[in-house]
Amino acid sequence: MTSSTNVTTVTLKVSRFAPRPERERDRARTGSPFARRSSPFGSGSGSGAARRRPRGRQWVQEYTIPARPEDTVLDCLMTIKRTVDPTLAFRYSCGHGMCGSDAVAINGTPNLLCTATLRDWAKRPTTSDATDDEGFRHTGDVADDAPADDADSPSLGVVELAPLPGFPVQRDLIADIDPMLDQIRRLKPYLQASGTLATTSEGKVDVFEYLQHPDELARYEQLSNCIACGVCEGSCPVFAGGDAFIGPAALIWASRFVNDSRDTQAMARMDAIDTPDGVAACQSVRACTRQCPRGIDVGEEMWQIVAKVRER
């Protein structure tokens, strides 16, 4: 992965967390069929779960490894797993920004590990490295002893990694994003139309596709590209701050169907988000827009759906 010429290094400061060995804690996980079943529509606004304090040991661990500016942070973490510390836990899968597994806080800002390059995110160490804006405690790194640049392996700098804000940590960089998925599920995130499906007989289908003009597609196409990674949620001060808010991701999904010319339930969908923890909770901070890996202008879309709900 690293070329033999011009070896550089990077230092990763990773917020780690080891859960206390489980004594069948009472945790109703929607992802587990053997946990107590909760309501099929999730746990209210989900903000209760977001505020639950994790129990376990927390510390910050530093890793200094060879790396190049064009490497992604995920590349670096994989190098650590392979060559330094196989116990470090973080979600990852496709490695190129499509699966949405690997949202974490990079230098305090929610982003995907696999799209963040060192060129953009490695910071030159400064003398006063304050705790980050999101209020994450850095328990062990008061004195910043980042390795000084030396001639043999010049450092590209430091990257700080912590789990996605707004969600309870489960282990190291893995956070429990079920509250977000519950909120998405709560708003009937599926096309509601006639429901009739085609069948084939004698080589011919009996029903055709719904017609949709390219202009109609354009009204929701980008919204349908959301990968539910949670970056917008972790960036939203209302959501991550723990207020009762269904969150930008669920609203994007709702808006995706409201704007789909094939869907027949736009009114009911808008009723469902016209609640104190729905569109009313958005404070138009627009922090949700900045790092969206799919390039969705989440803040603007929030604005649009709020207006649409008000005008209906």
Partner 1 sequence: MYDAVIVGAGAAGLSAALGLLRSPEITRMKEDGVEPRILVISKLQPLRSHTGSAEGGIAASLGNIESDDWHWHYYDTVKGGDWLVDQDAAQLLAQYAPETVINLERQGVAFSRTDDGHIAQRRFGGHTRDFGGEPVRRAAYAADRIGHQILHTLWQQCVAEGVEFAEEWYVTDLVLSRDGSGAAGVVAFDTHAGAVHAVHARNVLLATGGAGRLFHTTSNSWDLTGDGMALALAAGLQLEDIEFVQFHPTGLAHTGILLSEAARAEGGVLRNADGEAFMERYAPGHADLAARDVVSRSIMAEIDAGRGVADPKDPDGPRDCVWLDMTGIDPDHMRAVLPQVVETIEKYANIDPSRDLVPIKPTAHYTMGGIPVTVDGEAYRWEDSGRRTVVDGLFAAGECSCVSVHGANRLGGNSLLDACLFGTRAGRSMAGRIAGNPVGDPTAADDPDRTAADEALAVAGDDAARARREDLDALLAGPDDDASDGAAANPYGLMALLGSTMERALAVRCSETTIAEAEERLDDVIGPAAAALRAHDKTAAFNQEVTAIWEVRHLVALADAMLAASAGRRESRGSLQRLDHPERDDERFLAHSMTRLAPADGPAAAELLWQPVHIVDIPPRAREY
**Within 262-301, which residues bind partner 1 (CB under 8 A)?**
262
**Under rule CB under 8 A, residue 92 binds partner 1:** yes
Q: Which is nearer to partner 1, 133 or 206 (CB)?
A: 206
Q: What is the footprint of partner 1 within residues 3-22 (CB under 8 A)?
A: 3, 5, 18-19, 21-22
Looking at 38, 39, 83, 284, which residue binds partner 1 (CB under 8 A)? 83
| Cβ at position 64, least distance to partner 1 in Å | 18
**Under rule CB under 8 A, residue 123 binds partner 1:** no
Are the C-beta atoms of residues 250 and 230 closer than 8 Å to each other? Answer: no
Are the C-beta atoms of residues 184 and 257 closer than 8 Å to each other? Answer: no
Number of residues that bind partner 1 (CB under 8 A): 72
Q: What is the footprint of partner 1 within residues 146-185 (CB under 8 A)?
A: 170-172, 174, 177, 181, 185
| Cβ at position 93, least distance to partner 1 in Å | 4
Region of residue 21 (phi > 0: left; psi between -120 and 50: alpha; otherwise: beta) = beta
How buried is 21 (Cβ within 10 angstroms: 0-12 exposed, 13-18 middle, 19+ buried)?
exposed
Looking at 38, 39, 52, 93, which residue binds partner 1 (CB under 8 A)? 93
Looking at 160, 233, 260, 301, which residue binds partner 1 (CB under 8 A)? 260
Looking at 113, 227, 249, 302, which residue binds partner 1 (CB under 8 A)? 227
User: Which stretch in 97-105, 238-246, 268-276, 303-311 sits in contact with partner 1 by CB under 8 A?
Assistant: 97-105
Q: Which is nearer to partner 1, 10 or 103 (CB)?
A: 103
| Cβ at position 209, least distance to partner 1 in Å | 4
Q: Which is nearer to partner 1, 128 or 214 (CB)?
A: 214
* CA 179 – CA 30 distance, rounded (Å): 9
Distances (CA, A) of 18 to 31, 84, 100: 21, 18, 23
Q: Which is nearer to partner 1, 123 or 262 (CB)?
A: 262
**Under rule CB under 8 A, residue 252 binds partner 1:** no
Distances (CA, A) of 127 to 48, 142, 264: 38, 11, 58
Closest listed residue to residue 240, CA positions, set 132, 80, 122, 127: 132
Q: What is the footprint of partner 1 within residues 35-74 (CB under 8 A)?
A: 40, 70
Are the C-beta atoms of residues 73 and 159 closer than 8 Å to each other? Answer: yes
User: Which stretch in 127-135, 188-196, 236-244, 268-276 sits in contact with partner 1 by CB under 8 A?
Assistant: 188-196
| Cβ at position 130, least distance to partner 1 in Å | 30
DSSP SS3 for 66: strand
Q: Which residue has the tokens 């959301």?
A: 226
* CA 252 – CA 278 distance, rounded (Å): 11
The DSSP string of 195-244 is -----EETTEESS-PPP--HHHHHTTTTGGG-----HHHHH-HHHHTT-S
| Cβ at position 268, least distance to partner 1 in Å | 14
Q: Which is nearer to partner 1, 33 or 53 (CB)?
A: 33
